[in-house]
Amino acid sequence: MKKLSVFQVATKSLLRKKARSLLTVLGIAMAAWVLVSLFGFNRGYEASLNKDIDNLGFQMLIVAKGCPYEAATLMLKGGTGLKYMDESIAASVAAEPEVEGVTPMLMQVVFDPNKGESGGLAAFLGVDPASFPKLKSALPFKAGGWFSEPEAAAAVFGYEVAELEQREVGDLYLIPEKEVEVKVVGILERTGTQDDGTIFLPLRTVQKVFGVKELTSIGIKVNKNADMKAFEDKLYKLPDVQVVSLSQVKTTIMTLVSTARVMVFSIALIAILIAMMGVVNTVLMSVMERRQEIGILKSMGALAGDVFKLIWLETVILCAGGGLVGTGLALVTARLTDVLVRNLLPYSPSGGLVAIDAGLVLMTLGVVTAIGLASGVYPSWKAARMRPLDTIRGEVES
List interacting residues with another protein (CB under 8 A): 1-6, 9, 12-13, 15-16, 292-293, 296-304, 306, 387-389, 392
Asked if 87 contacts 213 with a C-beta cutoff of 8 angstroms, the reply is: yes
- Nearest distance in Å: CB 251, another protein: 59
Nearer of residues 100 and 306 to another protein, judged by Cβ? 306
Neighbours of 82 (CB within 10 A): 22
- Nearest distance in Å: CB 311, another protein: 13
Nearer of residues 47 and 296 to another protein, judged by Cβ? 296
Nearer of residues 274 and 304 to another protein, judged by Cβ? 304
- Nearest distance in Å: CB 333, another protein: 32
- Nearest distance in Å: CB 299, another protein: 5
- Nearest distance in Å: CB 304, another protein: 7
In 3D space, the residue among 252, 253, 238, 250 whose CA is nearest the CA of residue 102 turns out to be: 238
- Nearest distance in Å: CB 19, another protein: 14
Q: How far apart are CA 396 and CA 15, in angstroms?
A: 24
Nearer of residues 229 and 385 to another protein, judged by Cβ? 385
Q: Is 257 exposed, middle or buried (0-12, 13-18, 19+ CB in 10 A)?
A: middle
Nearer of residues 4 and 269 to another protein, judged by Cβ? 4
In 3D space, the residue among 40, 91, 136, 3 whose CA is nearest the CA of residue 341 turns out to be: 40
Rounded (to 5) percent helix, strand, coil in the chain: 55, 15, 25
Nearer of residues 9 and 53 to another protein, judged by Cβ? 9
Q: Quick check: helix, strand or coil at residue 383?
A: helix
Q: What separation, in Å, do the N-terminal and C-terminal C-alpha atoms of the chain show?
A: 37
Q: How far apart are CA 125 and CA 396, in angstroms?
A: 85
